Every structure is written in C-alpha cells, then in structure tokens.
Amino acid sequence: MIKERFILAALKRGDIKAFENLFHSYYPRLCRYAETLLKTEGLPEEIVQDVFYNIWKKRKELAIKISLKSYLYRSVYNHALMHLRKYKHEIRLDENWAVNQAGEMAGPMEKIDEKEISSLVSATLSTLPERTRVIFTLNRMEGMTYRDIAERLSVSVKTVEANMSKALKALRRSLNEYSSY
C-alpha cells in the first residue's frame, strides 16, 4: 500500500518513469484479463492502452481509494463493458438499416406513414431547446455515446442523459398524439 502511494504521488507529479514502470508491470496481465472479457484478439490491447492513456491524462485528479491493482482491473472491466455496449448498439443500427432498406420496397401507404412520422419527428425536434436537439441528433443520428457527447460538448454525462430523456419524452408525446388521430 505504501509503494502504491509513492507511485500515485509520482504519477501526479508527471513522473514518466513511474508511469512506464506501472504500464510494464500490469500491461500483459490486464491484456489477458481484457481478452477473457471480450473473447477477441487485438481489441484487448486497445482497451488496456485506453485505460493507461486515461490514467496519464487524468493523473493530477486521480483519487484512488482502493488498491492501484484493483483500480486498474476495474477500469479495464468498465472499458470492456462500454465497448460491448457500443458494439451491441452498432449491431442494432445495422439491423435498423436492413429494416429500412427493406422498407424502401414498401407500398405507397407505408411510405406516406414514414414521411409523416419523419416530418413529425423533425417538427418535434424543432420545438426543443438547441442543446437538447444537438444531443439527440448526436446520439440517435450519429450514434455517439453519452460519454462522447459529454466530452464533445463539455457537459456532464448526467446533462446528456437529462436532455435525451427530455427529447424522448417530447417525441413519445408527439407520436401518441399522432397515433390517436
């Protein structure tokens, strides 16, 4: 525990040697751990490198309450989980694309409904505050994660979540009104 405090203090000072030693000590083990989580090759190294990159980038704010080893393993676990969620999201987008492609062969009534709903969505989004509209577009149209949006817009993830909730609530309300006609 005392050794870890010295390592953390050295990292906070920007000691590159301490960082390199930490990296070389844990990198192979963390890669094997990430590989067991992801069941792929190549990607585990990227996940572990991201963890170390974030540690170096945020070294001055690091406040590790548990052991450094536990922190590293938990970080790899969280990054791997984020990747898996993003991968599932991308699969859903691909499936939606396939459904949309099939929908292009739909009859005239389905095309009218699609145009009406599309214009309803556009109209609803135009009534929302700018930030909410931008956040919704980045997430649903461009496929960005909440964390990526938060970093891009310099806001918290909670702010992104709240704005997405507001946008989805407005869209649900509009679609409910539309379907009741």
In the prediction, which pLDDT does 59 show? 87
Looking at residue 4, its pLDDT comes to 79
The beta strand positions in 24-175, using DSSP E, are none
Structure tokens at 36: 């067991």
Looking at residue 112, its pLDDT comes to 45
pLDDT score of 81 more than 90: no
Query: pTM for this structure?
Result: 0.48
H or E stretch covering 77? helix 68-103
Q: Give the Cβ contact number of residue 70 at 10 Å.
A: 11
Tokens of 103: 């929908």
Query: CATH assignment of 2-84?
Result: 1.10.1740.10
Torsion of the alpha carbons at 146, 152, 157 and 159, rounded to the nearest 10: -110
Confidence band, pLDDT 50/70/90 cuts, at residue 2: low
Q: What is the mean pLDDT of the chain?
A: 80
The larger pLDDT score, comparing residue 35 to residue 40, is at 35
Question: Between residues 180 and 13, which one has the greater pLDDT?
Answer: 13
> How large a percentage of the chain has pLDDT more than 90?
24
| CB-CB contact of 30 with 76 (8 Å) | yes
The domain made up of 106-179 has a fold known as Arc Repressor Mutant, subunit A (1.10.10)
pLDDT above 60 (res 101): no
Q: What is the pLDDT of residue 89?
A: 47
Ordered by start, the domain boundaries in the chain are: 2-84, 106-179
Three-class secondary structure assignment of 93-139: HHHHHHHHHHHCCCCHHHHHHHHHHHHHHHHHHHHCCHHHHHHHHHH
Identify the pLDDT of residue 23: 92
pLDDT for residue 180: 60
The residue ranking higher by pLDDT, 132 or 86, is 132
Q: Which helix (H) or strand (E) is 145 found in, with range?
A: none
